[in-house]
Amino acid sequence: MTTLVGHETPWRQWRAAVADERLHHAWLLTGMAGIGKAQFAVHAAAALVEVDGTPQPPATSHPDILILTRPPASKDDEKKMEEGKPFATKRSINVEQVRAMQRRLNTRPTLGPRRAIIIDSIDDLEKSAVNALLKSLEEPPAGTVFLLVSHRPGGLLPTVRSRCRILRFTALDNAQMHQVVGDAAPDVSPDIREAAIAAAHGSPGAALGFIAKDMAPIRHELIGIAAHGDTDFARRGALAKAIGTRPDRDRLVASVDLARTICAARMHDATRGEQARLITAHAALTRLGAEIPYANFDPGLTVVEIGGLLADIAMPKGEGN
């Protein structure tokens, strides 16, 4: 069984917990998005339910492993989207998915004494689904263990957090990032791979998303705006061209996330005045990124807003931006 690159410590903790007869029933897997928590949860679930001498099917089709994720978007959902490619999934994990899982918990595990429930991510549960899940966390069936993936554990209800043990996942170092990204995208040119790793700050998922969405030209323009400003809007025009004339929500959210990482990366060497502007821009980008998946928006104006927030980093307000 693999330990997964960069996650040797949580893997040792998990294996030790599984070997203990008093294994806790709920675990919160926390860390930055794209770091590998969901992949870890699948491997951890497989280790949990395996029985010596009994052939085991793959974890994703194992009868004793249930995985809850956001369901695919329906045709009706797609019709409600604005112009541009809609999200491939719905915005949340709904209460019916949780109730269907709970009905399964009324039966015994199929191949062994244990069953694993993976929720990827618990941050995506709608309010009624969280309330339904709490009933299972409060009175878990014997042999059932919950693996709850969370990118933002601070936003969870205290009643959820208090019922969970925590497995913390840290960012991968540069060598580990090169190993994971190189294995997953061997045909990508070295310069694109380097740009993706630099932009991802230790998150393989973010690096691979950077490559898949062709974000290198966007990063180049964002860095230019943050460094030099954009008094004549020329750089914002180049940014709009890099993002595309009709970008979908996913591409805009990825662009906002990239802009946020640029702000964070500049904090270390910034002066006090620059730090204040970076903090303001980062907070505004965070709000914008949270609004894009749900609010009505004009893609062109959104691109201008992203560029404007970064342009404000380069010089104090009132000096040309």
Residue by residue, DSSP assigns 133-150 as HHHHHHSPPTTEEEEEEE
- Token pair 């770091």 in the structure block, residue: 35
Q: Rounded to an integer, what is the distance from CA 275 to the centroid of its chain? A: 26
- Token pair 């010089």 in the structure block, residue: 315
115 strand-pairing partners: 144
Characterize 69-100 residue by residue with b for buried, 16 or more Cβ atoms within 10 angstroms of its Cβ, and e for exposed: bbeebeeeeeeeeeeeebbeebebbbbebbee
- Asked if residue 286 has pLDDT above 50, the reply is yes
Task: List, for residues 206-258, the tens digit of each pLDDT value.
Answer: 999 999 989 999 999 999 999 999 999 999 999 999 999 888 888 998 899 89
Catalogue the E-assigned strands of 24-84.
26-30, 65-68
Task: List, for residues 99-145, the tens digit of each pLDDT value.
Answer: 999 999 999 999 999 999 999 999 999 999 999 999 999 999 999 99
Tokens of 140: 């878990």
Establish whether the linkage from the previous residue to 203 is cis, with ω within 30° of 0. no
End-to-end CA distance of the chain: 55
CATH of 8-168, one of 3.30.70.1400, 3.40.50.300, 3.20.20.370, 3.30.70.1150: 3.40.50.300
pLDDT at 24: 95
Task: List, for residues 35-64, the tens digit of each pLDDT value.
Answer: 999 999 999 999 999 998 889 999 989 999
Closest C-alpha to 135, from 163, 116, 109, 158:
163
Quote the CA–CA distance of 207 and 148 in Å, as a whole number: 23
How confident is the prediction for the chain on average, in pLDDT? Answer: 89
Compute and round to an integer the Cα radius of gyration of the chain: 22
Compute φ and ψ for 36, nearest 5 degrees: 115, 15
Catalogue the E-assigned strands of 163-303.
165-168
pLDDT at 21: 82
* Of 42 and 73, the one with more pLDDT: 42
pLDDT at 82: 47
- Asked if residue 94 has pLDDT above 80, the reply is yes
168 strand-pairing partners: 30
Quote the CA–CA distance of 97 and 265 in Å, as a whole number: 39
Q: Rounded to an integer, what is the distance from CA 144 to the centroid of its chain? A: 25
